[in-house]
Chain A
């Protein structure tokens, strides 16, 4: 009988230990921001969130996924604020009633990076469309995100504008990695493929190899970020007050200056362009 008792005690200890180690539910003074890998990987949040947290005592937890997944998560009410970069998808999100007012936050730009051998000879092209046409013409490897993210959506738009049908070439020279920006860049560098990336991720990316920026500065490469509160009417769990105060701060002169002052390797990564209210314009 003693063996049974010992066994029971063992089992009880297991259950007890397991019970104790389960932590308490997160406290109220914290919000979840569904955002993109491009903003998180660049280190922007690590830089600006402590400033906001110190001011307000509100802890901001960032879930960094592709824009497509971020919007999906927010539609499931699993977040308080959405900060992503796919304007038409954001506007649809608001129009469908999932989010409240959408505001511009900042922009950076997309660039086309590639190997120095540049098989499609696109270096210095002023038009992104021309560059993509040349890549398609040369059947040079191109690594796409292929994950329905903001960057992927922008890339699809560029191909369409360039009049190239990439569907037929998928798996040949057009390679969809189905992963985040960093993973796609790792793949591109690995197989010497061109890739479209946001400048912020590229500047902070450490595994560049001998890759360089080949095309930049075209207006169609503009990358706008937007912010919005998840609709508390659709999602009663949304911490509307804390979420709104985060949005207000990001759009305020203080928040915008914080974004402006964020640098990596001496380069500014994001350019704030929130529509300032008259009072804040002076600051």
Chain B
């Protein structure tokens, strides 16, 4: 229990003092995970929408695969991306290993299935409502997809946040491809892992609390954005 009390005290001190190292780590965490979320949305929503609207042979298998990939272990993703980006790997010439870009790639690979699978479900439910109308108006597929994405935008925001949550919380992938290098690729989760390994459990816990607070702030601002947008739409 002593560690918890110490962690609370440390978390407050850290945040209030505006420690530049901490701010740097928080900034990189947000940059990496938000970038990964945006990239994954671009790919994941496209995949999710396509699978939701189109009917093709093997579609069931594709959905099973997408849903299963939601459970990809981060450390496996990290390993695969490491082997690709390593100088001994096929993409070594890009010189991306141990950079924030590598971390963005790894997290994008990790959460694209989540966004694709969840958005597929959301869009398919909406599509079953709209399908008859689309057919009667002879709406082309790409127009239908556009309309679905737009009308489901608030639900899709939650899908995106689920992806962000997974990205910002994982440590297994970024520690392998980023290397947890101080002032270069150290993010909140790798810093927590490092402090734990140094036996500084109170500081690790304090960083965990800070990470949770950031996640709450991100989610709250998205909620605020959403309700403002909704008010404008129905005003």
Give me the interface of A with B, judged by CB distance under 8 Å. Answer: 1, 3-8, 10-11, 14-15, 17-18, 21-23, 25-26, 32, 37, 41, 45-46, 61-65, 73, 75-78, 179-183, 185-186, 204-208, 235, 237
Contact = CB atoms under 8 A, between A and B. Distances in A.
A142 to B, nearest CB: 19
Contacts of A10: 149-150, 153
Nearest to A236: B87
Contacts of B196: 182-183, 186
B200 A207 contact: yes
B86 A4 contact: no
Interface stretch (B8-16, B162-170, B179-187): B179-187
A21 B198 contact: no
A25 B87 contact: no
A75 B34 CA distance: 33
Given A6-B150, A15-B42, A61 B198 contact: no
20 contacts: A4-B147, A7-B146, A7-B147, A11-B42, A11-B45, A21-B38, A21-B104, A22-B101, A23-B100, A32-B181, A61-B98, A65-B179, A76-B86, A77-B86, A77-B88, A78-B98, A180-B197, A182-B197, A182-B198, A186-B199
Given A10-B149, A21-B104, A208-B199, A237 B95 contact: yes
B42 A63 contact: no
Interface in B151-207: 151, 153, 179-182, 184, 194, 196-201
Contacts of B96: 25
A259 to B, nearest CB: 18
Give the size category of B's interface with A.
35 or more
Most buried by B among A6, A21, A183: A21
Closest 7 pairs between A and B when the two form their complex, measured CB to CB? A182-B197, A207-B199, A4-B146, A77-B87, A63-B179, A76-B88, A7-B146
A62 B181 contact: yes
Given A11-B45, A26-B99, A205 B199 contact: yes
A7 B199 CA distance: 49
Contacts of B38: 14-15, 17-18, 21
A208 B198 CA distance: 10
Nearest to A46: B182
Nearest to B28: A23
